[in-house]
Structure 1
Amino acid sequence: MDFDFTGPHSGPMETFETLVRAEFAPKNTYLNTASNGLLPARTVTALHRAVRLRAEGRPLGSLYEDVEAVRASFARLAGVPVERVATGASVAEYGALIAASLPAGAEVLTAEADFSSLVNPFHMRADLTVRVVPLERLAESVRPGTALVAVSAAQSADGRLADLPAVRAAARTHGARVYVDASQSVGWLRVDPDGYDFLAAVGFKWLMGPHGATFFVGPGAADGFGGLTPLLAGWSAGERPWDSCYGPVTELAHAVRRFDVSPALFTYAGLRTSLELIEELGADAVHAHDVALAERFRKGLGSLGHEPVPAPGSAIVSVPGLGHRQGELSAAGIEVSDRAGNLRAAFHLYNSAADVDRLLDVLAG
């Protein structure tokens, strides 16, 4: 890989490149993190170790320790106390909890064509009013009577970034809450922990973990847990999980962990090392690297006469009218996505300037 930075390769930049080279050796030009992140070498090793524990019948206590280490690591990345983080399996399950907490007739405001796992739970309640507006009009569309604004920090389809400070300000003015899906942003883009009431994010995209883990950040006990009822609570949601295995859970966790779902242990064994890598590299360094590559691609597209969907500051670039070339690009060893006719490229820490240039060269024919 030939990494391209804005300054000389020394100090932290040299460390960044060295760490990435040690963890990734893709066999193709992989520009599809918005679908699935690559697994670091350390994560593959951790998964093999976890599987061997099960295969050999050894104690699994270390795998449960991984869950708590992952919770703490995500809390640091999100800038929130660990007591505010729950772990589950999907964004939709946490959206369902939020939807269930709303009174009949409540209005939920969403952006057009936002990801289904975020918005669909609210459509499943026929007694809620779901109002859909263009992303750029989301903040100005909050009004008296709006109970919740639900939006992705970065749009899956095209990488556009929500103006979360404006949304949060409008929500506060009208007494609404804000629910953010950070699945396409956490790992490369910081989200202000004061900018939302609820947040959910999967671990298999920009966090580069295996499938099967989702994080949820919600209000703590002092704020009544945001009015949510832990409808999915099982033994793992107890204050003392191993004492909560039989009969009703008599004491739910005093933290947001009460919204935990029984963990997929192998997933957390791998995810622990993936998050450790992000923390070693530094979230700000990852952001600078990813966005610089996306900007390089945008500039190159202009020289080819193509205009991407405007998404300044995003690591995701979507190009209208080029989605049909996804198969051709894949055959050439370049992995991107076709989303609604748009070609979507997503740039992450294991990508390089050479990857950008190769994609541009193939597009140029």
Structure 2
Amino acid sequence: METFESLVRSEFAPKNTFLNTASSGLLPARTVAALHEAVRLRAEGSPLDSLFGDVEAARASFARLAGVPVARVAAGASVAAHTGLIAASLTSGAEVLTAEDDFTSVVNPFHARGDLKVRTVPLERIAESVRPGTALVAVSAAQSADGRIADLPALREAAREHGARTYVDFSQAAGWLPVEADAYDYTASICYKWLLGPHGAAFLVVPEDFGALTPVLAGWVAGENPWDSCYGPVTELAHSARRFDLPPALFTYTGLRHSLDLIEELGVDAVRAHDLALADRFRAGLARLGHEPLPAPGSPIVSVPRLGHRQPELSSAGIQVSNRAGNLRASFHVYNTPADVDRLLDVLSA
């Protein structure tokens, strides 16, 4: 039986010190092989039926990670599109509660409506800010800029008390933090960060009764029988969340299927323990250097004020991190090691 470390070593061989999963994760070897095979099929003119099957396999894998029946999972391409679908379902004048400086894809579609009351509060106050009349609370489980984790249990309780729906974006959390999608009305996640997939895939989890969503983006893939829904209006929408599907990027989903398999094999709890141990090692090293990161306990994303300007220097040294609003953001995942953390600290100490 392979250990966590041996399985990771068999899948990843980064050529630099990659500490930037919060921007984009690395692709496992099995995913790269699957992408090559998909391209070969397309180049040869072979049938692509197996690629459509990969969409369903990826959907089922994500459903297991999210802890919900597969019938509640819709496949798309971006969180912004999923947010737009939810925004379209709200009545004019409805109040949407959001967190300050949350990722644009989570909040902008509500602003774009022009007729919704979008109220923004600090992340730490979002649960206490739910009030009578709040129709929806929309928030990221983990903040992109600095890794702060929302108090989701408190948010659930406040929303339940006031009759508000909840929409949680797990893009910076799925893969290392349990999703528990059944606890919310809607959840979404892109798959190219902590889930280690290619760009161009995202999932939306909806309630069993579809949560008052209208499939305004429905095309042929949203039909109960897609191949019978290619011409004219869709006469019978899918009886599952597939009615909210967007036409899939087949290569992406073929690769994603194998990435999700790896996450399931590793186990989210083991991934979380690995990632957080590295983040804590970095925080301890920063303290020794006299730097204090922004508070984000329990997160593998560490953001350090006033060090963002060093990102080009670090890149030149073969260390990949991000500069976010002047803060240096490092993020740690399965393919990282204590040596990666120490190398970053060594360069920062110079």
Assess same fold via TM > 0.5: yes
How does 1:97-108 map onto structure 2 within 5 Å?
97-108=85-96
Deviation at 1:192, TM superposition (A): 2.5
| Length, aligned pairs only | 350
* Counterpart code for 2:11: E
Q: Cα RMSD over matched residues?
A: 0.8
Residue of 147, 153, 160 corresponding to 2:135: 147
State the match for 1:81 in structure 2.
Answer: 69
Deviation at 1:194, TM superposition (A): 3.5
State the match for 1:255 in structure 2.
Answer: 240
d(CA) in 2 for partners of 1:42, 1:127: 46
State the match for 1:134 in structure 2.
Answer: 122
d(CA) in 1 for partners of 2:215, 2:197: 26
State the match for 1:356 in structure 2.
Answer: 341
d(CA) in 2 for partners of 1:99, 1:269: 30
Residue of 275, 279, 289 corresponding to 2:264: 279
Question: Are positions 1:122 and 2:107 aligned together?
Answer: no
Describe the superposition over 1:155-186 as per-residue Cα deviations: whole angstroms up to 9, x where unpaired: 00000000001011000100001100100000
* Counterpart code for 1:354: A
2:52 and 2:250 in contact (8 A); partners too: yes
State the match for 1:186 in structure 2.
Answer: 174
d(CA) in 2 for partners of 1:90, 1:42: 23
Does the residue aligned with 1:119 lie in a helix, a strand or coil?
helix
State the match for 2:45 in structure 1.
Answer: 57
TM-score between the two structures when normalised by the length of structure 2 = 0.99
Residue of 310, 333, 340 corresponding to 1:325: 310
Does the residue aligned with 1:141 lie in a helix, a strand or coil?
coil
Does the residue aligned with 2:182 lie in a helix, a strand or coil?
coil
Deviation at 1:283, TM superposition (A): 1.2
State the match for 1:72 in structure 2.
Answer: 60
Counting aligned pairs with the same residue, the percent is 77
d(CA) in 1 for partners of 2:110, 2:288: 43
d(CA) in 2 for partners of 1:82, 1:295: 35
Describe the superposition over 1:295-320 as per-residue Cα deviations: whole angstroms up to 9, x where unpaired: 11111111111010111000100001
* Counterpart code for 1:236: V
State the match for 1:7 in structure 2.
Answer: none
Deviation at 1:211, TM superposition (A): 0.6
Residue of 308, 311, 326 corresponding to 2:293: 308
State the match for 1:203 in structure 2.
Answer: 191
Does the residue aligned with 1:35 lie in a helix, a strand or coil?
coil
Unaligned ranges ≥5, structure 2: none
Does the residue aligned with 1:44 lie in a helix, a strand or coil?
helix
Unaligned ranges ≥5, structure 1: 1-10
How does 1:22-41 map onto structure 2 within 5 Å?
22-41=10-29
d(CA) in 2 for partners of 1:157, 1:29: 20
d(CA) in 2 for partners of 1:108, 1:179: 10
State the match for 2:332 in structure 1.
Answer: 347
Describe the superposition over 1:127-169 as per-residue Cα deviations: whole angstroms up to 9, x where unpaired: 1000000000000000011000000000000000000010110
Describe the superposition over 1:235-287 as per-residue Cα deviations: whole angstroms up to 9, x where unpaired: 10011111111111000000011000011000011111111111111111111
d(CA) in 1 for partners of 2:192, 2:220: 25
TM-score between the two structures when normalised by the length of structure 1 = 0.95
Residue of 35, 44, 49 corresponding to 1:47: 35
How does 1:214-253 map onto structure 2 within 5 Å?
214-220=202-208, 223=209, 225-253=210-238
Deviation at 1:191, TM superposition (A): 2.3
1:164 and 1:195 in contact (8 A); partners too: no
2:181 and 2:187 in contact (8 A); partners too: no
Does the residue aligned with 2:279 lie in a helix, a strand or coil?
helix
State the match for 1:166 in structure 2.
Answer: 154
Does the residue aligned with 2:312 lie in a helix, a strand or coil?
helix
Deviates more, 1:132-141 or 1:194-203: 194-203
Deviation at 1:125, TM superposition (A): 1.2
Deviation at 1:195, TM superposition (A): 2.7
2:271 and 2:333 in contact (8 A); partners too: yes
1:88 and 1:214 in contact (8 A); partners too: yes
Describe the superposition over 1:208-232 as per-residue Cα deviations: whole angstroms up to 9, x where unpaired: 1111101000012xx2x10000011
State the match for 2:201 in structure 1.
Answer: 213
Q: 4+ runs of 1 displaced by more than 3 Å?
A: none
2:68 and 2:182 in contact (8 A); partners too: no
d(CA) in 1 for partners of 2:292, 2:136: 34
d(CA) in 2 for partners of 1:125, 1:43: 38
